[in-house]
Structure 1
Amino acid sequence: MPAQNPTYDLMLLLDTAAPEDQRAKVLAEAERILESNDATIVSKHDWGTRRTAYEIRHKHDADYHLLQFQGGPEVPAAVGRFLRITDGVIRFRVIKLRAGLPPVPDLSASSEPAPEVAAEFAPVERL
């Protein structure tokens, strides 16, 4: 019985100064490359424009997208080649996920942290 292909995360930061149609083309082409390499797109998440933790290429914000896909080991290299030479891509990262991880949180719905996270990082009263 063949083993199931691993699941990968493709985190993609697009330039907010680029036209909306160019950003849409980059996403569509990345999806096309994944599908042409026999990868299955598991989920797509548009997290919108967010401030970056630090300046990247003189930019302080980016349009965040997460694509989760299943495919063979050649798929991340194929999509990486395209994204490295494409205008409008600030940064990207492909990560192989361990089996059994929880689903991705929906960050587009609200900018508030989840209640369990908020309680964990609540200010501590000092004596």
Structure 2
Amino acid sequence: MLQKYETLLLMSPELGSEARQELLDTVSGIIDRDGGKVLVVDDWGIRDLAYPVQKVMRGYYTRLEYALPGEAVAELERNIRIADGIFKFMTVKLAETYEPEGE
């Protein structure tokens, strides 16, 4: 059963657009591989941080909304933790079940 999640990624501001897209493709590929579906990719751009994170005061924010089986979220987060270029993330469950519209 798919559940609806949202993950906010904070990436290094020094990454180029190609490197950021490659990271997002990797994360999206993991979601697809584990039987999920990416619903929304929302780029917020570079923003100032409230406090330094790893001595950096700015970060590139991207919000992902997706449907994924609950047991696959741990694997997704493990891959995000080891990815170079992502230095913070937060995952929130939006809905207990995901019902695709029109299906």
TM tier, shorter chain?
0.7 to 0.9
In the TM superposition, residue 5 of structure 1 has moved relative to its aligned partner by 2.2
Q: C-alpha offsets along residues 73-116 of structure 1, whole Å, 9 cap, x if unaligned?
A: 122112111111111111011111146xxxxxxxxxxxxxxxxx
Task: Considering fraction of residues, name the structure with more strand.
Answer: 2
User: Which one has more relative contact order, counting CA pairs under 8 Å at least 6 apart?
Assistant: 2
Distance in 2, matches of 1:19 and 1:81, equals 23
For 1:46, the aligned partner's letter is D
- Is the contact between residue 14 and residue 62 of structure 1 (CA under 8 Å) also seen in structure 2? yes
In the TM superposition, residue 25 of structure 1 has moved relative to its aligned partner by 1.1
TM-score by length of 2: 0.85
Q: Is it true that 1:36 corresponds to 2:33 in the alignment? A: yes
Aligned-residue sequence identity (percent) comes to 25
Q: Which has the larger radius of gyration?
A: 1
CA RMSD in angstroms comes to 1.4
Structure 1 residue runs without a partner (length 5+): 100-127
- Is the contact between residue 62 and residue 90 of structure 1 (CA under 8 Å) also seen in structure 2? no
Distance in 2, matches of 1:42 and 1:7, equals 9
In the TM superposition, residue 6 of structure 1 has moved relative to its aligned partner by 1.9
Q: Is it true that 1:74 corresponds to 2:68 in the alignment? A: no
Distance in 1, matches of 2:15 and 2:44, equals 17
Structure 2 residue runs without a partner (length 5+): 97-103
**Which residue of structure 1 aligns with residue 13 of structure 2?**
16
Q: C-alpha offsets along residues 30-58 of structure 1, whole Å, 9 cap, x if unaligned?
A: 00000111111111100111111211111
